[in-house]
Amino acid sequence: MMNLPSLGRRRLMQWALALLIVPLAVNEARGADWVARHGLSAAQYQREFTKQSKRGLRLISVSGYERKGQAHYAAVWAKRRGPAWAARHGMTAAQYQRAFDDYAKKGYRLTYVNGYSVRGRAYYAAIWDKRKGPAWSARHGMTTAQYQKAVTDMTKKKMTLKHVSAFSVRGSPRFAAIFERGGPAWVARHGLTAAAYQKAFDRFTRQGYRLKVVSGYADQRQDLYAAIWEKGRGPLTTARHGIRERNYQATFDNYTYQSYRPTYVEAFNARGEVRFNGLWQNRSFSAADLTFIEKRVRRYMRKHKVPGLSLAISRDEKLVYASAFGYADKERRDLAGPADRFRVASVSKPITAVAIQKVIEKTTLTEKSRVFGSSGVLASRFKTPARNRKINKIEIGHLLRHQGGFVNVNKDGEKRDPMFAYSGTGHTGLIKWTLKNYPLGYDPGTDDQYSNFGYCLLGRVIERMTDKTYERYVRDAILKPAGARGMVIGGDKLKDRKRNEVKYYGDGAYSAVKPQRFDSHGGWIATPIDLLRFLKHEDALRKSYAHYGRMGGTVSVLRRTSDGFGLAVVANISADEEAMNAMIVDIKKKVKSWPSVDLF
């Protein structure tokens, strides 16, 4: 084997070197057959390394990077059959050289190496397999010129560049590489800007090459990339480079919920921030189906000027697809992901309807129970105004079916929804004001007109019958058992956003809209995945069903089709809900093959 001189001996870092030699027999892992982690300190990485190794997962990718003067790691483990293997991290150049020599004597081949620097010192992480194969060679600590010469020399000897890791030590690029005799046709490039790398990627892909590795690094002026492509076929693959750290999780989740699995992840210190590169493979979807979904969503977003949108689809109670598109916060350029929560507007109503049915099952409440009047559930809180006596005839079932008599026309003949017209903040003041100023437009039960106020009243009925707040009861009785633990009542102002809640755009998003007061008719925030968990859990909704939601800054659709699909979609601007519904129905019909997976 050929090795350039290492960068010199370094003292042992404060964190320990990790070493594992895994026996040939690997036990089957329980649960997911791969795990990916990032942002791990050295100690956290060591614990995760030990945990996943005990589960029988092999380390297939690891990269180190510096954050606040300390080493951090991103890694991928997968359940794969193979020979015994070994891995180490946190090695100085000298320690890496010694490990390299020791494993070579024991019959191990270097299959992966990652170089990184911390506080201006070079370190290495590496993976070895105990197996035979063609002649191979590895080199590390190379300058750009040395790397170029090594590639040229090895190519003349009919050696294939199998792996490269580029990194920077005090602004000076360094390279580590693995070569192996024989193999498919290949091409490699380094010193590429992001734009130049993208052009190379597109060109080589058209020529039938598949990206094998992309490594990022910084010199004194800019971020650069080194990459290897090999000629050949394989499963559907996608790649990303230069992902900002704040967008990495959303990007990763978007791929995961499209049935992509990571095969390579690299975190690197770019100029001024940490960035990520990655490769993913998909054996569940066709490229044509995924392309159609994205194009259909993007078309809707362009037409309706939607900043961010999130979609989830289930089939036969199994989650088969989810992805977000666009931005959770377009000013910050924060990408939307499946874990981002959106206001769902009136899609809150089926949640309240289910909650009322639960209360009916558990208490003396019935659909015939009166809401107001001497025997009404809310009689002790709200007196019947002299000029609005008909409210005493309102029953719980009337409110559920939008038959309570409310028509959103006040006593002066102005057509305004009281939920938006009222300027106060609390439910008590709102209800008293509405009952005084909004006479019924028809006798309860004789007609039906959509009413936000009617569902506001149902929220108060739930509170009266359960001695819990509306939100607490719904979360405890419905959402937690369904696994939809991320669903909560949203905040009114931008500063009130919950964790992982998107930013809303358009008129009224943070003025006219009052999620805390809208709770039972329009206050919930959720991911589409959690909406489908709710839909799956409730027997009452296991039929053809659809509900739309729309208010300032929000549009949403939740539906179940007669052929077993659940569809949930939300956006962070008020847009055409009929067109949104048509979009997801079109996707459901035209995707040719849905995978037999369950991503819940």
Report the Cα 98 to chain-centroid distance in Å: 41
Residue 433 domain flag: no
Read off the pLDDT band of 168 (50, 70, 90). Answer: very high
Residue 255 domain flag: yes
Instruction: Give pLDDT, residue 19.
Output: 35
Give the orientation angle of helix 577-590 with respect to helix 287-304, to 10 degrees.
170
Read off the pLDDT band of 568 (50, 70, 90). Answer: very high
Start-to-end C-alpha separation, the chain: 48
pLDDT 10s digits, 28-73? 323 479 999 999 999 999 999 999 999 999 999 999 999 999 999 9
Strand segments, DSSP code E, in 521-586 are 524-526, 545-551, 554-560, 565-571
Is residue 327 over pLDDT 50?
yes
pLDDT 10s digits, 471-501? 999 999 999 999 999 999 999 999 999 999 9
- Identify the three-state secondary structure at position 538: coil
Residue 292 domain flag: no
Instruction: Give pLDDT, residue 106.
Output: 96
Residue 223 domain flag: yes
Question: pTM of the full predicted structure?
Answer: 0.92
**Residue 261 identity:** R
Residue 586 parent element (H or E): helix 577-590
pLDDT 10s digits, 76-107? 999 999 999 999 999 999 999 999 999 999 99
Is residue 15 over pLDDT 60?
no
Residue 499 domain flag: no
Instruction: Give pLDDT, residue 358.
Output: 97
Q: What is the mean pLDDT of residues 127-155?
A: 97
Read off the pLDDT band of 428 (50, 70, 90). Answer: very high
Q: What is the mean pLDDT of residues 497-520?
A: 97
Helices (H), 402-483: 418-421, 427-437, 452-466, 470-474, 480-482
Instruction: Give pLDDT, residue 539.
Output: 81
Question: Taking a C-beta distance cutoff of 8 angstroms, is the pair 534, 524 a contact?
Answer: no
Task: Supply the mean pLDDT for the chain.
Answer: 93
- Please give the share of the chain, as a percent, with pLDDT higher than 90: 92
Residue 584 domain flag: no
Domain residues for the domain of 264 are 20-283
Q: How many domains, in total, are found in the chain?
A: 1
Residue 135 domain flag: yes
Instruction: Give pLDDT, residue 9.
Output: 27
Instruction: Give pLDDT, residue 541.
Output: 78
Read off the pLDDT band of 7 (50, 70, 90). Answer: very low
Instruction: Give pLDDT, residue 542.
Output: 78
Residue 500 domain flag: no
pLDDT 10s digits, 178-228? 999 999 999 999 999 999 999 999 999 999 999 999 999 999 889 999 999
Instruction: Give pLDDT, residue 29.
Output: 26
CB atoms within 10 A of CB 23: 10
